């Protein structure tokens, strides 16, 4: 078995794929009206996007009675401030709730949370 992609639902697969293509600098693959794939340079697990007409934005942080986040992306960056500014310029918003000082939780244009972090600045969490 091989995991080849994480799939994100969106009201517009192409629009969300463009956001992540521009944010990550990844190579487009399949590009259909309701299905788009992106591939990282050098290979590895990619991202796919599918149009979901009944898509509901998740709420971050979780709120009873609202669509909850079911997954999020962790994106390693070299400079947290620069990466956050770049994400915002491309259409992301910085979440109001920030649970860690050295991680920026952002929301992509479809509302999926993703975390930007610089590994050296993140304090390892103790095992559960």
Q: Where are the beta strands (DSSP E) in the chain?
A: 5-10, 27-32, 35-39, 46-51, 73-76, 93-94, 103-107, 113-117
Look-up of token digits 């080849």 = 4
User: 28-55: per-residue pLDDT in tens?
Assistant: 999 999 999 999 999 999 999 999 999 9
Query: Of 61-65, 88-92, 117-121, which gets the smallest average pLDDT?
Result: 61-65
User: 114-126: per-residue pLDDT in tens?
Assistant: 999 998 765 555 4
The DSSP 8-state label assigned to residue 95 in this structure reads -
The DSSP 8-state label assigned to residue 61 in this structure reads S
């Amino acid at each position: 078995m091989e995991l080849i992609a994480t799939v994100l639902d969106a009201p517009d697969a192409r629009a969300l794929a463009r956001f992540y293509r521009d944010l990550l600098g990844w190579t487009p693959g399949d590009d259909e009206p309701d299905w788009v794939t992106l591939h990282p340079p050098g290979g590895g697990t990619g991202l796919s996007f599918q149009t979901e007409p009944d898509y509901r934005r998740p709420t971050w942080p979780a709120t009873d009675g609202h669509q909850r986040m079911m997954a999020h992306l962790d994106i390693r960056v070299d400079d947290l401030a620069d990466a956050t500014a770049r994400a915002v310029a491309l259409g992301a918003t910085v979440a109001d709730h920030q649970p860690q000082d050295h991680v920026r939780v952002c929301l992509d244009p479809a509302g999926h949370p993703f975390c930007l972090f610089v590994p050296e600045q993140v304090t390892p969490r103790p095992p559960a």
